[in-house]
Amino acid sequence: MEMKNTLMRSSDSGTGSGAGLSNLGGSPPLEKFFYDNKIVRDFGIASVSWGIISLLVGVLIAVQLFMPEANLGLPFTTFGRLRALHTNGAIFAFVGNLMFMGVYYSLQRLCKTRMYSDKLSRIHFWGWQLIIASAVLTLPFGFTTSKEYAELEWPIDIMIALIWVVFAINFFGTLLTRRTKHLYVAIWFYVATIVTVAVLHIVNSMEIPVSFLKSYSMYAGVQDALVQWWYGHNAVAFFLTTPFLGLMYYFLPKAANRPVFSYRLSIIHFWSLIFLYIWAGPHHLLYTALPDWAQSLGTTFSIMLIAPSWGGMINGLLTLRGAWDQVRTNPVLKFMVVSITCYGMATFEGPMHSLKFVNALSHYTDWIPAHVHIGTLGWNGFMSFAILYWLIPRIYNTKLHSTKLANLHFWIGTLGMVFWTVSMYISGIMQGLMLQDFTADGILKYGNFLETTTQVLPMYMLRALGGLLYLSGMVIMAYNLFKTVKSGVLIANEADEAPARTKDYSEEKHLTGYLRHRIIERKPMLLLVVAALTILIGGIVEFIPVFTIQSNIPTIASVKPYTPLELEGRNIYMREGCYNCHSQMIRPFRSETERYGEYSKAGEFVYDHPFLWGSKRTGPDLQRIGGKYPNAWHYRHMFNPRLTSPGSIMPNYKWLSTNDLDISDTRASITAMRRLGVPYPAGYEDRALEDLKQQAVAISDNLKKDNIKVADTKEIVALIAYLQRMGTDIKGNKTDNK
């Protein structure tokens, strides 16, 4: 039965003791209502359960980076496919569910009302779990868009949009039916999250379906990269940061039993943060083919982000003034202090990475995952644990089963985080320095990329150990919370009382200057509009020139569309997640042009739907791999990388030699690409399969010369065709700036 928002006016019923008291002296009558704790509990259970699964997958793929056979020889347990499951699971399942738990708990109490609709709450909960289950059922099987943190295919994208709208209606419905006049700062952050995530998701998910679980990004090359990293950066900002800042502003004062240090600072913090964050996406693309002016914007705004980020951190830490003695004994505050400190570290490190000279060293190395995991394991993870330890005993009206176990979790989690990040800092800096190192004779000191990989393997082992420790802490927490739940009873409908909201603000007029920001703080729809405008400015300024002005992406006459076989090979490259370990973007450094060849040009990627530049080099860049090795080398390398590259940590892709190439969507792919502007001639889709067959036979025949017998119908043939094409378009050609 749906619990009504207002069950009764306690003054009318005569049973509410509070009502009687409040009416003495002419106070407005109190209304009795009930908070929905069941939805809070459900999201909490989902967060812990998915969190353990996501981190288990994380540990498995961490082990594969020094022991590739840990993929068990199966395609769907291999790093390239599972990495997306790990990141999506950690972000949207673990952190996402926790965020919803915290929002549903705090919003009801800050608005003094039950959620707008119990039905919408349930649809939101089950819809979100269905989305996560869909990710589990698609990503390991290679159904991916290949855009980082947005890998889910188009039907799931639509489902995400719909469920997000359900959440938004329920959220704003609650705000509009609230009993309080004022929207507390935590709610501003929630509003910014809802509006920005919607914008990010819709813009970045624009894609043309080819089949039920296959689509191509509507954007190509440089434009796709800009949109993707505008999304990727701001997914961190508005899914992992702003909602958690909102949670911090609610749960930290509650846990410390002290008001936030400075409400004024929170105003500056909020608006500056949401205004600045949206501009900073291009810092993920420094020294790439993205236009210089866009890179400059990304760098400058990233550096300025330190100000609001540290404003938030300081506001959080100083909220504990006078309560630091509690930190020694209270595990909730311990987790919160480390969490906020990690937020400060990550938000200092991010801007430092945006400095071009630092980025030149750090980008593509393990330094970046180290930075990311300070944020996710420290900021998000520890804040999540703190909220769970604080909240679960309350909604079960009991006390935490074991403070000792919570303290053990704190120390084991901290130790795990230290192992994880310090090993990756060392590994990342080592990689960066080795890859740029020249001998006195001007020759690359580590000419073979693999020489740098093998030296950091001990660090990869330490990372896996760190992940295992952190996961162990989560298992301990799950046990502790389970025992806590068993010792209490869920207060599914928690009673509270408050007077109805009036729109009489006359009593506030004596407050000088009070109305200026206060107007926004009590008008949720105005707050929504102003927040939306604030976050849209940066994106529009960056996107319009890149999309409309041709000189930003000089065309290259010799760059041609992929052949049908190459296109199918590219699909396999995406399916196996090769972009997780290999970039396709050679930066204009001597150390890179010596190692890989001519640096990448914007015009080379105009037919790349989606772009596949990658963001991490566990293996070498592949932009100029085409023509570098014979077909037979590629065949042997994919069959068992250690045959051609002893010591390689790349997994075997033996299934590519036995799987038949699926050409059922080739015609549809050509048609979709033409709709996206790729200049295939009219009616080419009718000849595509003939051309595909011809090219496949040629590669198969070529392999026979090296005593490799493989049918021209196998997937490996298509992949070889793609690899041999990569970066070959511009050899001996010059940019045409027309």
Residue 731 near residue 642, CB atoms below 8 Å: no
Structure tokens at 9: 């006016």
What is each CA distance from 333 to 256, 329, 375, 478, 655, in whole angstroms? 7, 8, 18, 19, 50
- Helix 242-256, helix 96-111: angle, nearest 10: 60
Minimal distance, residue 178 CB to another protein, in Å:
12
Q: Nearer Cβ to another protein, position 496 or 691?
A: 496
b/e map 577-599, b = 16+ CB within 10 Å: bbbbbbbbbbbeeebbeebbbbb
Minimal distance, residue 44 CB to another protein, in Å:
15
Q: Nearer Cβ to another protein, position 113 or 330?
A: 330
Q: Nearer Cβ to another protein, position 304 or 422?
A: 304
Q: Nearer Cβ to another protein, position 76 or 293?
A: 293
Minimal distance, residue 616 CB to another protein, in Å:
26
Q: 207-211 and 493-499 as β-strands: parallel, antiparallel, unpaired?
A: unpaired
How many CA atoms lie within 13 Å of 256's alpha carbon, on the beta-carbon side?
26
Q: Nearer Cβ to another protein, position 398 or 702?
A: 398
Q: DSSP letters along 354-376, please?
A: TSHHHHHHHTBSTHHHHHHHIII
Q: Nearer Cβ to another protein, position 276 or 469?
A: 276
**Three-class SS state of 234:** helix
Minimal distance, residue 249 CB to another protein, in Å:
8
**Interatomic CA distance for residues 143 and 468, integer angstroms:** 28
Minimal distance, residue 508 CB to another protein, in Å:
8
Minimal distance, residue 481 CB to another protein, in Å:
12
Please report which helix (H) or strand (E) contains residue 207, including its range.
strand 207-211
Residue 98 near residue 43, CB atoms below 8 Å: yes
Beta-sheet strand order (sheet of 8-9): 8-9, 30-36, 493-499
Q: Nearer Cβ to another protein, position 453 or 552?
A: 552
Minimal distance, residue 602 CB to another protein, in Å:
12
Minimal distance, residue 465 CB to another protein, in Å:
29
Q: Nearer Cβ to another protein, position 268 or 708?
A: 268
Q: Nearer Cβ to another protein, position 260 or 625?
A: 260
Q: DSSP letters along 59-99, please?
A: HHHHHHTT-GGGGTT-GGGSHHHHHHHHHHIIIIIIIHHHH
Minimal distance, residue 332 CB to another protein, in Å:
6
b/e map 640-669, b = 16+ CB within 10 Å: ebeebbeebbbbbbebbbeeebebebbbeb
Write the single-letter amino acid at 731.
K
Q: Which residues contact 558 (CB under 8 A, 6 or more apart)?
A: 729, 730, 733
Residue 218 near residue 609, CB atoms below 8 Å: yes
**Interatomic CA distance for residues 502 and 155, integer angstroms:** 44
Q: Which residues contact 277 (CB under 8 A, 6 or more apart)?
A: 233, 234, 237, 238, 241, 305, 535
Q: Nearer Cβ to another protein, position 15 or 397?
A: 397
Q: Nearer Cβ to another protein, position 37 or 618?
A: 37
CA 573 remoteness from chain centre:
21
**Interatomic CA distance for residues 143 and 572, integer angstroms:** 10
Q: Nearer Cβ to another protein, position 136 or 536?
A: 536
Q: Nearer Cβ to another protein, position 399 or 560?
A: 399
Q: Which residues bind another protein (CB under 8 A)?
A: 106, 109-110, 180, 182, 184-186, 249-250, 253-254, 257-260, 262-265, 267-268, 271-272, 275-276, 279, 291-293, 295-297, 299-301, 304, 307, 329-332, 389-390, 393-394, 397-400, 403, 406, 496-497, 508, 511-514, 516-518, 521, 545, 549, 551-552
Minimal distance, residue 111 CB to another protein, in Å:
10
Minimal distance, residue 502 CB to another protein, in Å:
16
**Interatomic CA distance for residues 701 and 683, integer angstroms:** 29
What is each CA distance from 697 to 66, 255, 700, in whole angstroms? 37, 68, 5
Minimal distance, residue 498 CB to another protein, in Å:
8
CA torsion through residues 253, 256, 261, 266, sign: negative
Q: Nearer Cβ to another protein, position 443 or 511?
A: 511
Q: Nearer Cβ to another protein, position 248 or 565?
A: 248
Write the single-letter amino acid at 423.
S
Minimal distance, residue 260 CB to another protein, in Å:
5
Q: Which residues contact 690 (CB under 8 A, 6 or more apart)?
A: none
Minimal distance, residue 223 CB to another protein, in Å:
15
Minimal distance, residue 573 CB to another protein, in Å:
32
The overall longest dimension of the chain from CA atoms, in Å, is: 99
Structure tokens at 535: 């976050």
**Interatomic CA distance for residues 45 and 172, integer angstroms:** 25
Closest CA to 161 of 212, 204, 201: 201
Minimal distance, residue 279 CB to another protein, in Å:
7
Q: Nearer Cβ to another protein, position 4 or 182?
A: 182
Minimal distance, residue 296 CB to another protein, in Å:
4
**Interatomic CA distance for residues 258 and 368, integer angstroms:** 36
Closest CA to 250 of 399, 378, 108: 108
Q: Nearer Cβ to another protein, position 38 or 634?
A: 38
Name the DSSP letter for residue 719. Answer: H
